[in-house]
């Protein structure tokens, strides 16, 4: 069975269905991030009510706590956390990269110090495949090296070669588990190295492919240049995943280029900080102008928060540091993202994605924005 079936193409944008062990997922799809097996401030029941079909968890964090062996004994992560939808686990390459001086990259793997208790660990590509098979997500990611921005061409070249060798070892380590395994294209911000990585990784028999190593501090125009460099090299019959990208305008840019899958902490992290998405742009509910605003976050939104509460009340909760604000704001932001992707898919189905893209950007750019928050790895 193919991992993805593409039903319609509009320009380069693709409408399809991703096959997983927990059902088919309509694509393009946005996956809320549940690093520890839970999306912060949400229950799984609420996620399902909002239309979430697939979430992302992080193998690095789950390996450290509570441990992949414990999760396996508990019947796998789906049973352990009570989520019966689809799930993808990131190998933690970005998180290990973020440790900086607390980690050392070797040919065999990565030696690092736990951010939790300072204990030392050594993870190899084979170990990360084993860890993710214990966790039991529907889709697993290879261990890769994510280089910083900027990095020299010499270091980036060596990193590309290492990521390819690790990818081959990941494939060799995979058992007959039904879990899908995706390879990751790296190459930093050098077009020739992106192309080299793409050729090397795409030559391997992975179930899908991701574009990694972006949103690490580079200008957004450079990020899209790197996507444009490799997207046409990626096979049409396998899923295309852009890792860690999640502002609404970026989702549309990715879809326009032919990306099928996205994840990001933006909708949930922003919600906890009072930054809320509307069809007219993003607002900061903490602003004083909402002190006596009787309206909902967004007049067009049908989520529980917008049906029930005013902007004034939500502002009161945030500035009063009430934990309930985390929940109510997250409900709204996740609903917005699910509705955005539903409208994207409807536009693709109807052959009107180009018009939808234009109209959305024209309207959305009228709201508040903060380009410092344009990346969301972590």
pTM recorded for the entire structure: 0.96
Handedness of CA 188, 375, 77, 71 (dihedral sign): positive
Active-site residue among 207, 260, 263, 298?
Answer: 263
4-265 has which fold? Answer: TIM Barrel (3.20.20)
Percentage of residues of the chain with pLDDT beyond 90: 92
Band the pLDDT of 375: cuts 50, 70, 90. very low
Give 302-342 pLDDT, tens digit per residue: 999 999 999 999 999 999 999 999 999 999 999 999 999 99
Say how far apart CA 182 and CA 238 lie, in whole Å.
10
Give 208-228 pLDDT, tens digit per residue: 999 999 999 999 999 999 999
Band the pLDDT of 368: cuts 50, 70, 90. low
Give 269-302 pLDDT, tens digit per residue: 999 999 999 999 999 999 999 999 999 999 999 9
Band the pLDDT of 10: cuts 50, 70, 90. very high
Neighbours of 75 (CB within 10 A): 10
For 289, residues 6+ apart whose C-beta sits below 8 A from its C-beta are none
338-341: long-range pairs with CB below 8 Å, 24+: 338/30, 338/50, 338/51, 338/52, 339/301, 340/30, 340/248, 340/251, 341/28, 341/29, 341/30, 341/251
Instruction: Give the per-residue pLDDT at 366.
Output: 73
Q: What is the largest CA-CA distance in the chain?
A: 61
Say how far apart CA 64 and CA 276 lie, in whole Å.
32
Instruction: Give the per-residue pLDDT at 240.
Output: 98
Active-site residue among 90, 138, 200, 250?
Answer: 90
Cβ–Cβ under 8 Å, residues 160 and 201: no
Instruction: Give the rounded distance of the alpha carbon of 343 from its chain centre.
Output: 19
- pLDDT reading at 374 higher than 50: no
Say how far apart CA 368 and CA 49 lie, in whole Å.
28
Instruction: Give the per-residue pLDDT at 378.
Output: 37
What are the residue ranges spanned by the domains of the chain? 4-265, 271-373
Instruction: Give the per-residue pLDDT at 100.
Output: 74
Helix (H, G, I), strand (E, B) or coil at 63: helix
Sheet of strand 261-264, all strands in order from the earlier edge strand to the far edge: 29-32, 261-264, 240-242, 208-211, 180-185, 139-141, 86-90, 54-58
What mean pLDDT is predicted for residues 68-73? 98
- Active site (annotated) includes residue 263: yes
């Amino acid at each position: 069975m193919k991992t993805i079936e593409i039903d319609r193409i509009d320009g380069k944008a693709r409408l399809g269905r991703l096959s997983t062990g927990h059902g088919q997922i309509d694509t393009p799809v946005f996956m809320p991030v549940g690093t520890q097996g839970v999306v912060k401030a949400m229950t799984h029941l609420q996620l399902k009510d909002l239309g979430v079909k697939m979430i992302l968890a992080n193998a690095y964090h789950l390996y450290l706590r509570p441990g992949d062996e414990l999760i396996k004994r508990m019947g796998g992560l789906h049973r352990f956390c009570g989520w019966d939808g689809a799930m993808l686990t990131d190998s933690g390459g970005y998180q290990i990269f973020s440790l900086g001086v607390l980690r050392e990259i070797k040919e065999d793997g990565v030696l690092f110090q736990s951010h939790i208790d300072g204990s030392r660990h050594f993870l190899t590509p084979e170990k990360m495949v084993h860890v993710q098979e214990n966790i039991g997500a529907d889709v697993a990611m290879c261990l890769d090296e994510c280089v910083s921005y900027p990095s020299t061409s010499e270091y980036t070249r060596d990193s590309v070669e290492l990521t390819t060798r690790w990818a081959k070892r990941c494939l060799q380590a995979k058992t007959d588990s039904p879990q899908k395994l995706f390879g990751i294209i790296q190459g930093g911000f050098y077009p020739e190295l992106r192309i080299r990585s793409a050729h090397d990784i795409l030559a391997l028999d992975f179930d899908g492919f991701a574009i990694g190593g972006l949103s690490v501090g580079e200008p957004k125009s450079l990020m899209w240049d790197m996507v444009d460099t490799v997207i046409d090299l990626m096979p049409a019959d396998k899923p295309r995943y852009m890792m860690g990208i999640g502002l609404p305008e970026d989702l549309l840019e990715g879809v326009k280029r032919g990306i099928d899958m996205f994840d990001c902490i933006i909708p949930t992290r922003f919600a906890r900080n009072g930054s809320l998405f509307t069809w007219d742009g993003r607002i900061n509910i903490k602003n004083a102008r909402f002190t006596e605003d009787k309206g909902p976050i967004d007049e067009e939104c049908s989520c529980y928060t917008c049906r029930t509460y005013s902007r004034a009340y939500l502002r009161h909760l945030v500035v009063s540091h009430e934990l309930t604000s985390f929940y109510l704001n997250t409900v709204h932001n996740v609903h917005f993202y699910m509705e955005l992707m539903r409208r994207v898919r409807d536009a693709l189905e109807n052959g009107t994605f180009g018009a939808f893209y234009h109209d959305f950007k024209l309207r959305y750019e009228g709201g508040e924005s903060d380009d410092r928050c344009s990346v969301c790895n972590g």
